[in-house]
Structure 1
Amino acid sequence: MTGAQTDGLTIGRGRNGLAKRLRLVAISIAAALLTGWIVQIVLLGMESRERERAELYWNGYAVMYVELNGGFDGLQERLVRDGYVYGADSDFAVRIYAGDDDHYEKVAEVSRGGEWSGGRKLPVMIGGRIVGYTETSITSFGHSWFIKFVVPCMTGLFVLTCGLILQHKLNRTEDQAGRRLAEELKTYMAQHRHLPVDSGERDWTSLKGEIGDLLRRNQQLETVRTTMVADIAHELRTPIAIMRATLDHALQSGAPLAPDKLAVLHDETLRLSRLVRDLQELALAESGHLPLFKSWFSMTELAEEVLETLSAAGEERGIRHDITGLPDATMYGDRGRIKQLLINLVGNAFRHAQSLVTVDLALAGGSIQLTVSDDGPGIEEEELERVFDRFYRGTETAKGGRGRGTGLGLGLAIVREFARAHGGEAAVRSRYGEGASFVVTLPVMKE
């Protein structure tokens, strides 16, 4: 191959490259327009689904309130208290009216962050009769021109910019590769030796390995998601089944519920409430939005209070408890959150202890070190790094027939996230067959 031939090859490649670049520009523009259009459709669809969900939610809320209370009295105060349970990502307003088609008046209203934009009125049906209406306004995705038009345009512009940058990099890579190829061909023709092997095959092998890692991780995440849904469904199934069976029996018999049956229903609603509370607080803590109401309090007194409360179940099994270390450890934090942290740790220790539960308080470099220990069967080494993961319940232990795989697996996850919310950390030390020690380090004071 002569120099003229290689120069011709370069010129031809340059012409083809120009056409290719123009095609890439056209594709980038089309992709930007398509992306903006898709984003707008998605936003409008999400807004519509969110509005419908909110309307059904608050209508069901009003129906349940009237069924439980016999009317709308006190609804305004209850609505203000319960407004937070609706999704934290949405600005909404709710109006509830009492009356029928001929005459109705507003009896309750709550608003969070949004301006009233109107909505359809859904009837509150009790026994086949309209007793009121609910009206919901949602602005979670906004009704403004900014959200509906500017965001899709900005998204399309971003895609276009990315496409042009990618095109520029590809062109540079192609030019460099072309120049290397031309030089290698010239060298080959002049010296009659083999061309060096490009490293592209090695890079492709590395890329395939990364893709395999991503696929494995995706499979693991899917397994965790499936297990999580199954665990939550399992926890909800029992209380709901008990409540439904009790209520069905009462409806069929036509007799009022006995006090013991009411107590069962009350216990099951408390169980569901605790589950919802734990999930909500854990989500807030993991996102860094857990509200903390801080004050000075005695950690020692709080630990003694929790031990005294939870020791009754342990005493029935002959389990002793003790508190050691600082006689009066004081810290600045949210006493309620720290109490929940202690309840989870001490309750876990009593469940697995053979004969003794110990709470130790120590001061370490401006922080309080709380250690809760039990002399139970311990935790296997491969499980130690996962005990604080949400929904991880461990495996059934061989000793004593009591595994750490009970409950929904939220207790220790809450311990870690509450500790981190206070600027601290949680850890575990254990050898299988020798008990376990959970160590929580909390700063004495952190604003």
Structure 2
Amino acid sequence: MRTTTPRRLAAALAAAALGLTAACTAGGSGDQSDSGPKAGETQTIEVWHGWSADHEVKAFESAAAAFHKAHPNITVKLVKDQTDERISNAIRGGNPPDVVSSFTTDSVGQWCQSGAWQDLVPYISRSGLDLGQFPKVAQEYTQFKGRRCAMPLLADAYGLYYNKALMKGEEPPRTIARLTDLAKKLTVRDPDGTIKVAGFMPSVQYYEHMPQHVTTQFGVKWLTPDGKAGFSKDPAFKTYLQWNKSLIDWYGYDNVKRFLRSLGQEFEASNPFHKGKVAMAIDGEWRTKFLQEEAPKVDYGTAPAPVPDGQEARYGGGYVTGTVIGIPRGSKHAQAGWEFIKYLTTDTASLVTFANALGNVPSTLAALSSPGLTLPPQFRTFLDVFKNPNSSTSPPTPNGNDYMVKFQQFVQDEWEPGKVRDLDAALRDLDRKVDDALKLAGG
């Protein structure tokens, strides 16, 4: 079972490497919205998407069938299990499909800047489509420097999961200080210090505790207003890192490593939250569906992830990202492709059916409040996080998520093991590395 989850670090490295070459993709980037046959003509469009599990593919097929019923002249040929790399290679080779969809927003900046995905503004203007039907954060992660080359198709929102039995009557924490206190209180150890149950595992190597999912709660600004790295300039990064290391040290780094090595697979029944080995964890909305199917006896709750003391007004927001869909340069049926995209991303019934089938957040305000949603009650947290004005995402760049990959590598390989002696100097060095890579990619 696979959903629109973010790539792990190895895949993130591949995406970042792809960003270094995306700007070299051949071809122009002018208005192509009038190219190919008109939308009313009889034709077949080819659509690439990343879903591959049977129930996911079936959900997309159902959406395509509903579109064909509304537009009987347009037949949709779906091609499953496509990656960002395959999409970019097809565009670069001059033989792309008519519509492409990606699980991640990591490549939006490079696709928009290079023109690999067409500017959708002409299509949007001609259709009279109102972007106000999408939450602000979804509007942000589908464009780069004013060029909108993608539309939002379902979303991922992050919040705090907690095991009610392990919480022993405690309420979910609203502040980082309270989270830290509970993490220590709820942790169970063997006499030698080995972690049997972790109250909260702060390491960036713990599944979805990747930096972007946690630092958002600290209010970090990944980039400066002029698009440069902001690690040494934003004190929120230092606050996050000091909190991370203090809890790592409380557990003991060797104990943390031992605990991490003992974990099962994230997207299998062996996930430690399913097994009662973790009391609290930050995770995406899809976890509700996994728990429903793989650990139905676990009594759990969800809440927004906590924020630092003094920032309680920001409580309720979280990290948001999502699936995006667009028209690649060279699409032979661009106008019909746009009709499919418009239907898939704005039709409430289609979005609700899709969200129910995949356990993801629907991406329009109307679908978010639809009575047709049949997801478990714990899912409500993620609908609210997605709509919350304090939610944010990581900004797009010309080389994708390279800056996030470099930060995670720094935290994982240097900071958590205790190798950093001068944090300020290390963050300045990290800024330099990120800025050099951005400059190389045309940023």
**How would you bin the TM-score normalised by the shorter chain?**
under 0.3
Answer 1 or 2: which has greater strand percent: 1
TM-score (norm 1): 0.19
Structure with bigger helix share is 1
Say which one has the larger Rg: 1
Larger RCO: 1 or 2 (CA < 8 Å, sep 6+): 2
